[in-house]
Structures are given as structure tokens and as C-alpha cells.
């Protein structure tokens, strides 16, 4: 028996196996052994199906940050929880970050983050600004991690020797080893720490202003 859930699950499976560009209504129908048009009894169109994919992946994020912990630690935990998407569903990541969800699954992470930033002592405007900085950083980092965006490694992994002209690009050539290697967790945590620490400085200033 066909159902919305089975369709969404099949869509995620196809995306993870063959990529978000390869996914199609016909491909998903084949995966389920049904005719294409059967899908339309449970999902209005492809766009809504991709929304459902994003929603399902988002709702599986496990936020484990302790409400009693210091807010800086909670921000770190929330950011890392979000990054789990890139681990569990790398090829769905672009779909997740590019769908404009106004559902519970979409707004819950925002709600949590805003609450944490309010705890830090920011007013509404500041909290929203900080949230946007974090989201931008996280989205940018995840897209690099899943290969949507380049790492700027000057050579392709399938090519043995460096191709970049050292005369034209002295820096890129000199730092080729550092550009080639990209430990995604390490790079993510580095920037996260940078952001959390400046944010802590700002929070103190905000608290000082308020008295």
C-alpha cells in the first residue's frame, strides 16, 4: 500500500543513492514499483515532496543540549546537531537548506536558537542578527562539506600532480597541502569557536549596558 511516508522515504533513499539532481517522480515511482501517477494521490507535486523530504530530515535532528548548561555550550551543541544532517543525509543537505519551511520542523531549531541567545542576554534584534550569522556560517560550512561548494583544493583528487602555476598563484601553490586536506569536523569547530567566543564578548557588553 502506497503512502506519503513511503514516498518520502523512497525519495530520500534515491537522493542519497543517486544525488538530488537525479531524483524524479518517475524514478521514485520505479523505486516503489508503482506507476508515476500513483504518487500524485499522496503528494500534490514534486515541490511539495521535496518540502516533505526537508521536513523529515530536519525532524530527525537530535538536539541534546542541556537546558541547564551555559548558553555558549548550548549554541555549540545546537550547531553540531545541525551539522549531523551533513553526516546522515549528505546529498539531501542542499534540499534541506534550500526549502523555505514554515512548519514545526522548520521553525523549531530557530525557536531553540533564539531562546538560547535571549538567555545570553541579547535583545530581540541582536538575537536575530546573531542567529543569522550562525545560520549563514553553518549553511556555508555544510555545503562545503557535502561538496556543493568548492574546497579550493588546487588539484583534483584524481590527478596526481599539482596543476596550478606557482607564478600566477604563489599562495595557492604554497599552501596546496593545507588546501587539499579538509577535516570537515575540525574546520567546522574552528569557525564555530571563533563565532561563539566573539558572541560571548558581545553578550557581556549587552549585559553591561542593561546593568
The C-alpha angle 59, 64, 69, rounded to 5 degrees, equals: 140
Residue 36 binding DNA, by CB under 7 A: yes
**Among residues 96, 99, 127, which one has the least CA distance to residue 113?**
127
* Binder of DNA out of 13, 19, 45, 123 (CB under 7 A): 45
Phi, psi of 163 (to 5 degrees): -105, -10
* Binder of DNA out of 24, 72, 149, 173 (CB under 7 A): 24
3-state secondary structure string across 89-100: CHHHHHHHHHCC
Distance CA 92, CA 146 (A): 9
Residue 84 binding DNA, by CB under 7 A: no
Between the alpha carbon of residue 158 and those of residues 153, 154, 161, 162, 180, the distances in Å are 12, 12, 9, 11, 12
Q: Identify what 34 binds: a copy of itself, DNA, none; CB under 5 to 8 Å per kind.
A: DNA
Q: Identify what 37 binds: DNA, a copy of itself, none; CB under 5 to 8 Å per kind.
A: DNA
The answer to whether residues 79 and 134 touch, using CB atoms and an 8 Å cutoff, is yes
Which is nearer to a copy of itself, 30 or 179 (by Cβ)? 179
The conformation of residue 43, written as its DSSP 8-state character, comes to -
* Binder of DNA out of 8, 10, 20, 23 (CB under 7 A): 23
Residue 136 binding DNA, by CB under 7 A: no
Residue 60 binding DNA, by CB under 7 A: no
* Binder of DNA out of 13, 17, 19, 26 (CB under 7 A): 26
Residue ranges binding a copy of itself (CB under 8 A): 97-102, 104, 106-108, 110-111, 114-115, 118, 124-125, 127-129, 131-133, 135-141, 143-144, 148-152, 154-156, 163-164, 168-172, 174-175, 178-179, 182, 187, 190-191, 194-195, 197-199, 202
Radius of gyration of the chain (CA): 21
Question: Coil, strand or helix: which one is 130?
Answer: helix
Residue 4 binding DNA, by CB under 7 A: no
List of residues contacting DNA (CB under 7 A): 1-2, 23-27, 34-38, 40-42, 45-47
Amino acid at each position: 500500500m502506497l503512502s506519503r511516508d513511503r514516498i518520502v522515504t523512497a525519495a530520500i533513499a534515491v537522493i542519497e543513492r543517486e544525488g538530488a539532481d537525479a531524483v524524479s517522480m518517475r524514478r521514485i515511482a520505479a523505486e516503489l514499483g508503482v506507476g508515476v501517477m500513483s504518487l500524485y494521490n499522496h503528494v500534490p507535486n514534486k515541490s511539495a515532496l521535496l518540502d516533505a523530504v526537508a521536513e523529515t530530515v530536519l525532524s530527525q535532528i537530535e538536539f541534546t543540549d542541556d537546558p541547564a548548561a551555559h548558553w555558549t555550550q548550548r549554541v555549540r551543541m545546537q550547531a553540531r546537531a545541525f551539522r549531523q544532517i551533513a553526516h546522515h543525509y549528505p546529498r539531501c543537505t542542499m534540499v534541506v537548506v534550500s526549502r523555505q519551511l514554515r512548519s514545526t520542523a522548520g521553525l523549531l531549531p530557530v525557536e531553540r536558537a533564539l531562546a538560547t541567545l535571549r538567555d545570553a542576554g541579547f535583545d530581540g534584534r541582536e538575537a536575530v542578527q546573531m542567529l543569522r550569522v550562525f545560520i549563514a556560517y553553518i549553511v556555508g560550512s555544510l555545503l562545503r562539506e557535502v561538496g556543493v561548494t568548492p574546497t579550493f583544493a588546487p588539484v583534483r583528487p584524481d590527478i596526481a600532480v599539482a596543476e596550478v602555476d606557482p607564478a600566477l598563484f604563489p599562495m595557492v601553490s604554497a599552501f596546496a597541502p593545507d588546501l587539499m586536506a579538509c577535516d570537515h569536523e575540525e574546520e567546522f569547530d574552528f569557525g564555530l569557536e571563533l563565532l561563539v567566543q566573539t558572541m560571548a564578548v558581545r553578550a557581556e557588553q549587552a549585559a553591561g549596558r542593561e546593568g
